[in-house]
């Protein structure tokens, strides 16, 4: 959240501790407010939280989406900062994804 704010990105940050159950209404309120969705997860990007939330938005409130996570690989052990950088889920990657989704939103005529 701090990195996003420092980059001039005004975002809602929702910490989903599990894929099931999760607070559907909180997610929908956020995407209605922001008009976009970025999901960063520390496991496989495919078939994870991002897929679930993308499906929710697709059926309830379509918005531009960017999902970050491991790309069909097994995770390694090691220093946390090095691993999140390697797997593309560091604060820097999240900020870049947020800027990407904002550009998509603007291209569609959103604010």
Per-residue pLDDT reduced to its tens digit, 44-79: 989 889 999 999 999 999 999 999 999 999 889 999
- What pLDDT does residue 19 have? 76
- What pLDDT does residue 43 have? 87
Q: Residue 6 sits in which domain range?
A: 2-107
% of the chain at pLDDT higher than 70:
100
- 96-109 burial string, b = 16+ CB within 10 Å, else e? bbbbebbebbeeee
19 vs 94 pLDDT, higher one = 94
Residue 16 is part of a domain; what is its CATH number?
3.40.50.920
DSSP class of residue 80 equals H
Quick one: pLDDT band at residue 106, thresholds 50, 70, 90?
very high
Q: How many domains does the chain have?
A: 1
pTM above 0.85, yes or no: yes
Q: Give the number of other Cβ atoms within 10 Å of residue 75's Cβ.
A: 12
φ and ψ at residue 38, rounded to 5 degrees: -120, 130
């Amino acid at each position: 959240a701090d990195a996003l704010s420092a980059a001039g990105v005004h975002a809602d940050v929702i910490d989903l501790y599990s894929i099931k159950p999760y607070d559907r209404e909180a997610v929908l309120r956020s995407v209605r407010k922001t008009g976009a969705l970025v999901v960063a997860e520390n496991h496989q990007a495919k078939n994870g939280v991002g897929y679930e939330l993308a499906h929710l938005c697709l059926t309830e409130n379509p918005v531009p989406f960017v999902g970050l996570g491991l790309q069909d690989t097994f995770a390694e052990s090691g220093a946390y900062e090095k691993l999140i950088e390697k797997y593309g889920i560091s604060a820097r990657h999240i900020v870049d994804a947020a800027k990407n989704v904002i550009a998509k939103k603007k291209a569609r005529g959103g604010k």
